[in-house]
Structure 1
């Protein structure tokens, strides 16, 4: 069954800029001989799901969208059925979601790119809508757009700088035999790998040079994709890299993260490598990877709302301090958004360069919120160090926007910055595992009010399915709480 003609126009789903960009996209497709366009959407785990359409049909997609199943919202991280929509009383609470029904995927022309590693292929990211033009409320991109619109009503624009760590390894055995394929709720057997370079030599140039061919390829692709890459460095672990990107508006930053992770994994595969954004692979002598999110607000006249005037004593303005207060207040419940996997909590340990408490401090890598800059400096901003690399980019940023905005509206005071964050016992501990984080979110009236009861119930149920499979496979995990279990490695190493 086809979608209604001119669905996008009928429901006013694009602004003037998007309508203009759509025509430019069609011209690029024709001029450059593009043979197929991947029309993609970011799923609850932050992975891209897509259909490849031919150029002629793509013209219709840019008028009416494309039919797309809502099944992804029933699956947990390993495609297990977390919400069975084939029976009455599903967690969605709306008939439009029953039976893996079709919804409409509407592409955003502003996201269109040509994929440099896949000649003749275009890519475009979109949003899911019901047939009557309503946004599908479980689509994380919709949630982020709603949060950003709320922030803009206060005359602020959210700006984000991405700092992402990940691992690259050489594939020794791909494990592609039929018996390695897994099943619904059972991920495929992870590949056997060896390290791409030596580890425990932070920022050593020799190790980065050993991965130069791969790194230079990624750098070139970032440029072709208009991803504003700033720096590349060798991190602490074997084959561990860090890429940082210049500031972008919130939605563009989330979209860029989704595309970057997909690009890295696809390019690695083509080179006989395996890239993973799993926080801590279950491999000997590996250390955790993080995703540090740099944040600031821009005023309607283009100024940094976090910066103080020249001659001030504080790095952050009153607005900046209130924003920090909101993030600290909601940090526990936001953990499901910033750290959504069982494995991600392996980072949360004292004296580990990752936060274990809701703290903040000036230029301290021990704090959850690290304040960067000097008094009167125009680029003053904050860095949240709590996130894991596999987090859904749209939900991670949504949680920060909503929390920080609440802090501004309520005038929340973050207190005195910590000089020794790991010793700040007056600050609340962050959830130490996904089970605790789910309990915090389930009880969080703030996020229920902001995101909707149905959304929170759905997300908690989906992540609980993941937790239930973990506990069934690893009932004794607490006997060795610092050890990455075999379940975690299989669950996340390949898929994230």
Structure 2
């Protein structure tokens, strides 16, 4: 009987070849366990671990997963009525906690260097009829990449990611810490902070950074630098450019790798934008992006004119990013906490503008004539963002700019004095902006946008039920 992959013709020739190589490695017992994982709506990896023999048997049929995983908010609570008719979704196949299949992409196989004889496979969700799940965020990016290829272009992106790493103090957390969500761990600082890029702080953090460097390089990730950031116990990693879906695959793998390696060694890593620690600095995720011509492999953003920041292709793409900056904000910054980063006269943008090599602008253009690394740096993202949705939003926005030949206007050399549309300052505002952006909604899928907004609104409802420390401090004694 034909496998699920064969019946629905889901793999390319390259994937079929990779699957044959993987089968030989599994038969040779290079690994004893394989983790089959997929990125959910939040960009969190979920899945199952299978022993090698079972991994061989399901490689072409996929692993069955309950559809309720696609119905959860960030507390892992199911926020759709899955046991009602239709399950609360706008398409069939989700009611009653029915199964869907996650089908591995054999090209993504890794051996995890920190876990003994453990393999790792990134998967895509499919419905029982062989159709991609409308809620599969990796598949949304795949669709965006394919649409860009239709224009003769490839998406190229490099990652600049800030995060926090602490010493874990409550290693033996008891049942009293459990919950939905549970009590956050107790931690202590690894570095004092504020001595940005000083060698002294860098050396103090070297034991952890060396540990992470070895593991990330063993995974084959294009790590370029490890830096001490401005905040206490805050760090930054940068990664070289990769093409298509691979930058997003890299982001989900590196986040999981860092968190797992830290956890195993008595540390706690967090990609939360602004943790509640004294004298905190916000963490950002700066996405460096360009387009490459498929015909000759050259950067399509490099201008011929030395006076111009970008080629006409780059300018129109930039115009599209500006046109949809507000609508795409929620996909780059999807948490309530992330909006605490946007502050006037800071390194975080507050309006939809671009500028040449200016870190106060939302879109920083780097390079120029004769510079092969010419690119656009989007500084709006938070490191907790789902990378597939963040990058898909960039491609779809840029495509609109290319097709309509949008003009980005002049460089905003005084970014906090330039008149421009204000970026959303809260998650509710960002949800409203996404729903109002008809182009992005159509490209992402209107059903998907409604689904994602429903999940985020459930998180907001829970947040609004809580009395904050600020409210208690402000009103409890006074009134």
TM-score normalised over the length of structure 2: 0.96
Shift of 1:308: 1.2
**Which residue in 2 is equivalent to 1:14?**
11
Q: How many angstroms does 1:477 deviate by?
A: 6.5
Matches within 5 A, 1:193-342: 193-300=187-294, 301-309=296-304, 311-342=305-336
How far residue 392 of structure 1 moved from its aligned partner, in angstroms, is 0.5
1:470, distance to aligned residue in structure 2 (A): 0.8
Q: Greater relative contact order: 1 or 2 (C-alpha under 8 angstroms, separation 6 or more)?
A: 1
Question: Is residue 141–residue 392 contact of structure 2 (8 Å, CA) maintained in 1?
Answer: yes
- Equivalents in 2 of 1:104, 1:191: separation in Å? 34
1:419 maps to 413
For 1:296 and 1:314, locate their aligned partners in 2 and report how far apart those are by CA, in whole Å.
16
* Residue from 417, 435, 444 that aligns with 1:442: 435
The more displaced of 74-83 and 294-303 is 74-83
Aligned equivalents of 1:480 and 1:131: distance in 2? 53
Could you tell me which residue of structure 2 aligns to residue 155 of structure 1?
A: 152
Alignment pair present for 1:26 and 2:23: yes
Higher mean C-alpha displacement, 28-37 vs 137-146: 28-37
Q: CA RMSD in A?
A: 1.7
Deviation track 1:5-28 (CA, whole Å, cap 9, x = no partner) reads 411011110000000011111223
Count of residue pairs brought into register by the alignment: 473
Q: Secondary structure at the match of 1:365?
A: coil
Cα displacement (A) at 1:451: 1.6
Find 1:370's aligned residue among 358, 364, 371.
364
Structure 2 regions of 5+ residues with no counterpart?
475-479
Distance in 1 between residues matched to 2:50 and 2:93, nearest whole Å: 25
Partner of 1:465: 458
Distance 2:15 2:470 in 1: 50
Instruction: Give a deviation string over 1:426-475, Cα, whole Å, max 9, x none.
Output: 21000001010011112221122112221011001000001111111147
Q: Distance in 1 between matches of 2:72 and 2:338?
A: 20
Name the CA distance, whole Å, in 1 between partners of 2:26 and 2:111. Answer: 9
- Looking at structure 2, the residues matched to 364 and 414 of structure 1 have their Cα atoms a distance apart, in angstroms, of 16
> What are the residue-to-residue correspondences of 1:348-387 with 2, within 5 Å?
348-387=342-381
Closer/same/farther in 2, CA of residues 121 and 476 from structure 1, 3 Å limit:
closer
Q: State the match for 1:494 in structure 2.
A: none
The answer (yes or no) to whether the contact 2:68–2:78 under 8 Å persists in 1 is no
Distance in structure 1 (CA, Å) of the matches to 2:245 and 2:88: 28
Q: How many angstroms apart in 2 are the aligned matches of 1:434 and 1:270? A: 33
Q: Any gaps of 5 or more consecutive residues in structure 1?
A: 482-496
Partner of 1:129: 126
Deviations 1:121-151 (A, max 9, x none): 0001010001111000101001000111111
Q: If the length of structure 1 is used for normalisation, what is the TM-score?
A: 0.93
Cα shift readout 1:89-147 (whole Å, capped 9, x = no counterpart): 65421230111210111000010000000010000101000111100010100100011
Quick one: distance in 1 between partners of 2:202 and 2:27? 39
